[in-house]
Structure 1
Amino acid sequence: MIYSELNADDLRGCTIADYLISIEASFQVVDRSAVIYAEDCFPVAELARELGRWIASGEGAAGDFSFESLSFEDPGAVQISRAEPGWQVGSIFEPTTTSAPQSWAELEDRVGDFISNVRRDVLGLGIDPHFIGPG
């Protein structure tokens, strides 16, 4: 999961929901060199928060992840599902394309990096990233 051009240009309020949906970036799910899913103006802060909550449950307790965003009508803009021999990342918007399976440890590292990067870059905008959750 990578992003660029993080911004809070549409931020108008001061509630957690305002921050979650207004901190956006150009976002991609990439597997090696293949783009699985791409979206401009994607709510990366909200995704980081939800992924952090999901990954914290641990592999044994984790069910499939389906991103339920305040910005999308339907859940699943980003999906992570159990697949042999590991976990695959995909999107309801690109249903025929998923990443290669990866281990929980690899997934945990990638999700952790994404969350850390979002927290760092939100702080760089002059916004306290506490609403995202632990880093």
Structure 2
Amino acid sequence: MRMLYREINASDLRGATVADVLVNVEAFFEIVDGSEVIYSESCFPVAELARELARWVSTGEPQAPDFSFSSLSFEDPGAVRIIRGQSGWAVSSIFTPELQSDPISWGELAACIDKFIASVRRDVIKLGIVPDFIDP
């Protein structure tokens, strides 16, 4: 399972508040499991997702509730969902309810999330934005 993005940009960023950055640092985003695309979105708030995932994963597996991305950019929560099941953690989206990743261990999930967050931090710096807002 991978969370991928490309073409990160801040072309709509007009203000300097954290909320402005969260909503306006966007990219083409995909959740991919093997060769199957679980969810994709062309203008997805990747910085906001990185921030929320950083907070969530920092709680650790025993305390981690199911994750439902509640974004300033979407009316309903769940554009990205991570649900604990008997066989592990599965990733899905309310926008493609018929699809979800195969279950994976917490270690695999945390590694995937950490890689996504590190990539977003690196690319936010390239955009000239200090990424401290991502840290939990």
TM-score (norm 2): 0.97
Counterpart position of 1:70? 72
Note the 1:29-68 alignment, pairs <5 A.
29-68=31-70
RMSD of aligned Cα (Å): 0.7
Letter in 2 for 1:21: V
Counterpart position of 1:103? 105
Flag structure 1 segments of 5+ consecutive residues without an equivalent. none
Counterpart position of 2:121? 119
Flag structure 2 segments of 5+ consecutive residues without an equivalent. none
Counterpart position of 2:23? 21
Counterpart position of 1:89? 91
* Structure 2 CA distance for aligned equivalents of residues 86 and 120 of structure 1: 29
- Give per-residue Cα distances to partners, 1:13-70, cap 9 Å, x unaligned: 0000000000000000000110000001100000000000000000000010000000
Size of the aligned set, in residue pairs, is: 134
Give the superposition deviation at 1:84. Answer: 2.2
TM-score (norm 1): 0.98
SS at match of 2:132: helix
- Aligned sequence identity (%): 61
Give the superposition deviation at 1:85. Answer: 1.1
Letter in 2 for 1:128: V
- Structure 1 segments (4+ residues) deviating >6 Å: none
Letter in 2 for 1:104: W
* Structure 2 CA distance for aligned equivalents of residues 132 and 112 of structure 1: 12
